[in-house]
Amino acid sequence: MKTTLHAAPPSQVETECLVVPVLDAAENNNGDKSDKHKPQIQSDDKAVLDAAADLIASGEVAGKMLEIALLHKPSGLKAKRLMLIGGGKAKNFSSYELRKLAGAAVRNLKAKDLKGFAFVAPSSWTGQADPASKSTLVFQRGGMEDAVKSIVEGAFVGNFDPDYYKSDRKEQKIDELVIVAPAAADQKALQAAMEQGRIIGEAQNFTRDLVNEPGNRMTPTILAERAKNMCDETGLKCEIYGGDKIKELKMGAFWSVAQGSDEEPRLIVMRHEPAGAPEKPVLGLVGKGITFDSGGISIKPSDGMEKMKYDMAGGAAMIGAMRAIAQLKPNLRVIGVVCASENMPSGKAQKPGDVQIAMSGKSIEIINTDAEGRLVLADGLHYARQLGCTHLIDAATLTGACVVALGMVNAGIFANDEDFYDRFSKSLQKSGEKMWRLPVDEEYREMIKSNIADIVNSGGRWGGAVTAAMFLKEFVGDTPWLHLDIAGVAWMEENKPWIAKGPSGIAVRSLVEFVRDLAASPLSKN
């Protein structure tokens, strides 16, 4: 999708459709509750306000979240159509909502076979009146760059559809997006923000494409090839290792999962090492890459097992994040490690009761072969430390227990270092991705003790997401570490106005924002 910036008044933009957000300013910070809704068009262009006046007066447009009204041949506008799209309460409006508006606009308009549209960037995030201006809404310094970036990210997410194996598929996509921003804004800064949004949006869709592929078309070998091609295209260093190297490295936990499948496992290492970057910190991004998870000998129920093609979503997120990092070029050393394998039952597969020796030397009693993601991550995390990573983040569709705890709204986040977590949480605010912190208290470690080995790979039913995190914590030592359990949010179970049913690409935006933040302002302690 081609993205361009336009500084002309919105009414003068020639386009198939001009999209303008509408916010509800009722119950604003001044305490005015006289009206149920106070719809406010996010434009000072008089022609746009006049064209929308009848819809506003009729009450058909109130500014409610994702409410859409479409006006054909709007008077006084060069656009063929005017779309008013609700962003909810003005006082709550943020980049999170704005991304949804952009995605919803794309999905609505491409369904009408339109190929391009223009989106008017709103000039406020708070809805507070500016006493020095006639404009109802305040223009916040720095807010317009964030608005432009968020619009582009949301539009790219909305433009992706996962149904590309349908023989009768009708190609519906937006080819061109024009963002209309105030001429008074810093156009160079807005252009940079738009480019950042494009890179991140494309990286998220790249991740979604990897996750969407079925298991027969996304084996560990194919995933490694896709990662290698991406690295070659973007200038990253990449190393791909097979089963012999995994055994040579004594990755017993990783190999125990891979040994049951006829498909070869792959250890994928991607390096962003810009010249002149500080020696420390070195951030390690470790992803679970189980390209199909049958559960192994502890086989899963057949109902829904087809979705286990997306058990590599954590690994795909790391590959996608590395793609964006390579293009944005932050001055920070980042190493991505993805442990890719299938988890299959066979005569060669590990069995409940087996004891495996991880790369770190810890012994693991296998209680449940379906708790395999933590096994590959155990060796991946330890290997990342050996490669020199001073800080670690892993991402994995790790536990159904996390879905039980948080539903399909928030990912679970676990941390062993407060400063590291605090910095990441600020990046979450920028990315708009929802994650909720869960504990890693030492009391939970009792639940993963083994009678025959150091630890078990499953702590049982209660606190399953936490005991899985406690298992991983055994392999990071004192290294600052974050664990992202994305099981509930890596796959959209139904179509939403702003995103298609299927892979979400969760964690890519947050990881990229975090890396950019670290490069701009290094951690106080490395």
Considering the domain boundaries, does residue 49 fall inside one? Answer: yes
Which pair of structure tokens corresponds to residue 368? Answer: 């449940």
Q: Position of tokens 């994928």? A: 268
Considering the domain boundaries, does residue 111 fall inside one? Answer: yes
Evaluate if residue 256 carries a pLDDT over 50: yes
- Its domain, for residue 416, covers 208-520
Q: Do 306 and 176 share a structural domain?
A: no
Find out whether 103 and 177 touch, Cβ atoms under 8 Å.
no
Per-residue pLDDT tens over the stretch 207-239: 999 999 999 999 999 999 999 999 999 999 999
Q: Do 265 and 219 share a structural domain?
A: yes
DSSP 310: G
Mean pLDDT of 511-521: 96
Q: Do 435 and 299 share a structural domain?
A: yes
Q: Do 439 and 325 share a structural domain?
A: yes
Mean pLDDT of 14-30: 85
- Which among 182, 198, 221 is the end of a domain? 182
Reduced to 3 states (helix: H, G, I; strand: E, B; else coil), residue 295 is coil
Considering the domain boundaries, does residue 312 fall inside one? Answer: yes
Q: How many helices (H) and strands (E) does the chain have?
A: 13, 20
CATH of the domain at 344: 3.40.630.10
Task: Please give the model's pTM, rounded to 2 decimal places.
Answer: 0.94
Per-residue pLDDT tens over the stretch 392-438: 999 999 999 999 999 999 999 999 999 999 999 999 999 999 999 99
Q: What is the pLDDT of residue 510?
A: 98
The more confidently predicted of residues 69 and 132 is: 69
Q: Do 255 and 166 share a structural domain?
A: no
Evaluate if residue 140 carries a pLDDT over 80: no
Q: Do 382 and 253 share a structural domain?
A: yes
Q: Do 377 and 413 share a structural domain?
A: yes
CA distance 170 to 432: 31
Cis bond leading into 281, ω under 30°? yes
Q: Do 170 and 214 share a structural domain?
A: no
Per-residue pLDDT tens over the stretch 445-471: 999 999 999 999 999 999 999 999 999
Q: Do 217 and 76 share a structural domain?
A: no
Which pair of structure tokens corresponds to residue 204? Answer: 């998220």
Q: Do 218 and 100 share a structural domain?
A: no
Considering the domain boundaries, does residue 258 fall inside one? Answer: yes
Q: Position of tokens 């004891």? A: 355
- Which among 182, 217, 238 is the end of a domain? 182
Evaluate if residue 347 carries a pLDDT over 60: yes
Per-residue pLDDT tens over the stretch 153-193: 999 999 999 998 999 988 899 999 999 999 989 999 999 99
Evaluate if residue 129 carries a pLDDT over 70: no
DSSP 263: S
Considering the domain boundaries, does residue 20 fall inside one? Answer: yes
Q: What is the pLDDT of residue 169?
A: 86
pLDDT mean across residues, the chain? 94
CA distance 220 to 384: 19
Q: Please enumerate in sequence order all residues whose Cβ is within 8 A of that of 422, keeping only pairs 6 or more positions apart, or say none.
A: none
CATH of the domain at 89: 3.40.220.10
Evaluate if residue 33 carries a pLDDT over 80: no
Which pair of structure tokens corresponds to residue 375? Answer: 């096994």
Counted domains in the chain = 2
Q: What is the pLDDT of residue 36?
A: 82
Per-residue pLDDT tens over the stretch 300-323: 999 999 999 999 999 999 999 999
Considering the domain boundaries, does residue 195 fall inside one? Answer: no
Q: Do 119 and 252 share a structural domain?
A: no
Distances (CA, A) of 439 to 222, 263, 410, 444: 36, 36, 15, 9
Q: Do 262 and 172 share a structural domain?
A: no
Mean pLDDT of 349-356: 98
Find out whether 518 and 210 touch, Cβ atoms under 8 Å.
no
Considering the domain boundaries, does residue 170 fall inside one? Answer: yes
Helix (H) or strand (E) holding 83: strand 81-89
Considering the domain boundaries, does residue 202 fall inside one? Answer: no
Could you give the residue numbers annotated as active site? 300, 374
- Which among 182, 200, 226 is the end of a domain? 182
